[in-house]
Structure formats: structure tokens, C-alpha cells
Amino acid sequence: MIYRETGQFKTTYASDQQLFPILQDRVFVIGLLAFAFVAVPFLATDYLFRAILTPFLILSLAALGLNILVGYCGQVSLGTGGFMAVGAYAAYNFAVRVPQLDLLVVFILAGLCAALVGVVFGVPSLRIKGFYLAVATLAAQFFIDWAFARIAWFTNDTPSGSVSAPPLEFFGYLVHGPQEKYLLVLAIVSVAALVARNLTRGAIGRSWMATRDMDVAAEVIGIRPLTAKLTAFAVSSFFVGMAGALWAFVYLGSWEPLAFDVNRSFQLLFMVIIGGLGSILGSFLGAAFIVILPLVLNQLPTALGIPLSTAMISHIEFMVFGALIVFFLIVEPRGLARLWAIGKEKLRLWPFPH
């Protein structure tokens, strides 16, 4: 009953194609954004910002990028960590070597660098598909790992190998404190989500999905697989690169290449699978899940009175992740986003049974 669409007639294509055609959706999203921007800064604790909200938002951005590549365009990538690293180090180099640039510009440039690298490593996708491509993207991951660890120029010749981000200054305003960092990241991610949604709704999104579903037929109707796949790599890597820059600058502060290793790639892939392939909402849900789960697993044993070592907890985390992946793939391969959609379907009828 709550979610019924009756009475909502669309008289123009424009209104039918708007972002949230159903009124209840619009209300919900606007409410959520208002809550996130206005209420949360006052309600949340520092810990909540630092440990949950900020990392969740940044990883959502990375998951969004990966989802575009894997979910919308069907190109499996295990090199996402590497592209995040490209964004982080690119941002570092721009910020340190060209200090006049505003940080927002730096982040965008970092994204563009990552996009470029993404396109280069995406070229093989024209010949290689499926898990072959996954292994090929591992080449990107390990090579990038090595490059940032060994080539001193990238780290501005820091002897220790770990670099620190400069203070976050945007148009003269210094962002400091968990609250402000949260708002910064929230703003960037909201815009990014809108852009991603526009792209996936548009011609380019359709070309991605067509390439994913049946690339021979796509070619026959005039969609060049080259263009579709490389734009997917480019756009995806742009988002992932920006996320990498944000992760390094806003969340970590100082970092080394290990922050972006192959485990990060797997983590992001899990987010996308659990959240839902081919869904913007799914990227957020998956990220939330993966960010919250370790915290829950950490607290649960003490809450239940069972003492477990940190090592044991991390092993159990692995087990739970693995089991959940398999569980989701069997039960709902379309992930949490699908469960959400099913929930909305049920809301159409609730409280009536049918």
C-alpha cells in the first residue's frame, strides 16, 4: 500500500525518464540525503565518522567504479586495488609537485590518470574474456604494486616507502576533523553516484550492457566492442582512482602500496557481488556490508562472552566472507540490491497479502 504507483501518471517522456519516477522513491532519497547532510553531522560520534561512515563512502565510490566495469559491462577485474593506488599516488604527486593546484582539481586529475592506466590495461579485454581477463588484470595489480614500491619517483624519493598526504585545502578552506571530512566525501560521492546513474541510463550504459549480454549482436547493431569496453575501463578507473585518492588523503593520511594490494581488489569484488552486479544501489549496500561485518565480528565474541584472539577473529572473518559469497551466489546472485527491490515489491501490497 505504501509503495503503490497508482495515480502517478506520466504525460511526458521526460518525466517518465527522470531519475526517480515514483514519488515514494523521490521522497525517500531526498529524505535520506537531507538526513545524511544535515542530521548526521550532529548526531554521529567521531568514532562513527572515522571507522564507519567515511570508509564506507569512499569504498562505495570504488565499488561503484568496479560495478560499472564488472556489473554493467561484464569485464571481470581483479586489479582494482592497483587502480586505486594509481589514483592515490597520482594525487600525491600532483599535490606535492604542483602545490598551486586546488585539491579538488588534484583529485580529478588523479582520476584521469587512473582512467588512462585503466584504458591501457583494458586493451587486452578486446581479445580476452571472462576469467582469462581476470588473470590478466592481476598482471595490472602486481605490476602496479611493484612500480609504486620500487620506482622512487612515484614516492618523491621517500626513503621509508610510505608517503603522507598534504593537508586538505579546498579553495582556501582547510578541511579538518572527522565531521568535515565526512561531509567532503559525502558531497563527492553523491555527485559521483548521480553521474554514474546518468551514464548507465544513457546510450553509453546501454552499449556497456549490450556488450556484456551479447557482444556479437552488439557489434552488429553498431556498438563497437572496443569503444564500449574501453570506455567502461576508463569511467570505472576514474571512479576507482578518485576513491583511491580519497582513501589515501582523507581516510589514511599516510600510506604505502600495501594499502592497495590484491586483497583490496578482492574486497571490492566481494562488495560488488554481495551488493549486486549492475546496480548503483548495490555498490553502496555491498560496501556497507563489508565495512560493517568485521566490526560486528570483532564485537560479537566479547558480547557473547567468548574470548577469541585477533588472529582467530580474522580467520573467522575470512570464513564468513567466503561462505557469504557462496551463499549469495546460490540464493540471490543479484545480491542485496535485488533483495531491496523484492522488499519494495512487497511494500506495494503490504499490509494486504495479495
Partner 1 sequence: MNLRELEPGTGQRKVGEVILAVEGVALAFGGVKALSDVSFDVREHEIRAIIGPNGAGKSSMLNVLNGVYRPQQGRITFRGETRSHMDPHRSAELGIARTFQSLALFKGMSVLDNILAGRNLMMKCNLLLQALRVGPALREEIEHRRRVEEIIDFLEIQHVRKTPVGRLPYGLQKRVDLGRALAAEPRVLLLDEPMAGMNVEEKQDMSRFILDVNDEFGTTIVLIEHDMGVVMDLSDRIVVLDYGRKIADGTPDEVRASQAVIDAYLGVKH
Partner 2 sequence: MEALRRPVTLAFFALLAAGAVSPMLIGSARFPQWLEVALGGLLTGVLYSLVALGLVLIFKASGVFNFAQGAMVLFAALTLVRLAEKMPLVLAIALTLAIMVAMAWIIERVVLRPLVNQEGIVLFMATLGVAYFLDGFGQSVWGSDIYTLHVGMPKEPKIILESVFDGGVLLDMEDVVAAVIAAVLVAALTLFFQKTGTGRALRAVADDHQAAQSVGIPLNRIWVIVWSVAGLVALVAGIVWGSKLGVQFSLSQVALKALPVVILGGFTSIPGAIVGGLIIGLGEKLSEVYLGPAFGGGIENWFAYVLALVFLLFRPEGLFGEETIDRV
User: Is 202 a binder of partner 1 (CB under 8 A)?
Assistant: yes
Residue 263 binds which entry of partner 2, partner 1, none, CB below 5-8 Å type-dependent:
none
Minimum gap (Å) between residue 87 Cβ and partner 2? 20
Contact characters 277-316, partner 1, x per CB under 8 A:
-x--------------------------------------
CA distance 335 to 341: 10
Residue 195 binds which entry of partner 1, partner 2, none, CB below 5-8 Å type-dependent:
partner 1
Residue 34 binds which entry of partner 2, partner 1, none, CB below 5-8 Å type-dependent:
none
Tell whether the torsion through CA atoms of 294, 79, 129 and 132 is positive or negative.
negative
User: Is 206 a binder of partner 1 (CB under 8 A)?
Assistant: yes
Minimum gap (Å) between residue 136 Cβ and partner 2? 5
Residues found near partner 2 in the complex (CB under 8 A): 76, 124, 127-132, 134-136, 138-139, 142-143, 145-146, 149-151, 216-217, 262, 266, 269, 273, 311-312, 314-326, 329-330, 333
Minimum gap (Å) between residue 47 Cβ and partner 1? 35
Residue 173 binds which entry of partner 1, partner 2, none, CB below 5-8 Å type-dependent:
none
The angle at the Cα of 282, spanning 312 to 274, to the nearest 5 degrees, equals 35
- The residue among 273 and 280 lying less far from partner 2, judged by its C-beta, is 273
Residue 50 binds which entry of partner 2, partner 1, none, CB below 5-8 Å type-dependent:
none
Residue 206 binds which entry of partner 2, partner 1, none, CB below 5-8 Å type-dependent:
partner 1
3-state secondary structure the chain: CCCCCCCCCCCCHHHHCCCCCCHHHHHHHHHHHHHHHHHHHHHCCHHHHHHHHHHHHHHHHHHHHHHHHHHHCCCCCCCHHHHHHHHHHHHHHHHHHCCCCCHHHHHHHHHHHHHHHHHHHHHHHHCCCHHHHHHHHHHHHHHHHHHHHHCHHHHCCCCCCCEECCCCEECCEECCCHHHHHHHHHHHHHHHHHHHHHHHHCHHHHHHHHHHHCHHHHHHCCCCHHHHHHHHHHHHHHHHHHHHHHHHHHHHCEECHHHHCHHHHHHHHHHHHHHCCCCHHHHHHHHHHHHHHHHHHHHHHHHHCCCCCHHHHHHHHHHHHHHHHHHHHHHCCCHHHHHHHHHHHHHHHCCCCC
**CB neighbour burial string for 77-92, b if at least 16 within 10 angstroms, e if fewer:** bbbbbbbbbbbbbbbb
Minimum gap (Å) between residue 269 Cβ and partner 1? 19
Radius of gyration of the chain (CA): 21
- The residue among 167 and 202 lying less far from partner 1, judged by its C-beta, is 202
Instruction: State which of residues 27, 29, 135, 217 lies at the interface with partner 1 (CB under 8 A).
Output: 217
Those residues whose C-beta lies under 8 Å from the C-beta of residue 295, and which sit 6 or more positions away, are 51, 52
User: Is 223 a binder of partner 1 (CB under 8 A)?
Assistant: yes
Residue 203 binds which entry of partner 1, partner 2, none, CB below 5-8 Å type-dependent:
partner 1
User: Is 163 a binder of partner 1 (CB under 8 A)?
Assistant: no
Minimum gap (Å) between residue 239 Cβ and partner 1? 11
- The residue among 203 and 331 lying less far from partner 1, judged by its C-beta, is 203
User: Is 220 a binder of partner 1 (CB under 8 A)?
Assistant: yes
Residue 304 binds which entry of partner 1, partner 2, none, CB below 5-8 Å type-dependent:
none
Instruction: State which of residues 69, 84, 218, 250 lies at the interface with partner 1 (CB under 8 A).
Output: 218
- The residue among 11 and 310 lying less far from partner 2, judged by its C-beta, is 310
Residues that bind partner 1 (CB under 8 A): 13-14, 17, 195, 198-199, 201-204, 206-207, 209-210, 212-214, 216-224, 231, 235, 278
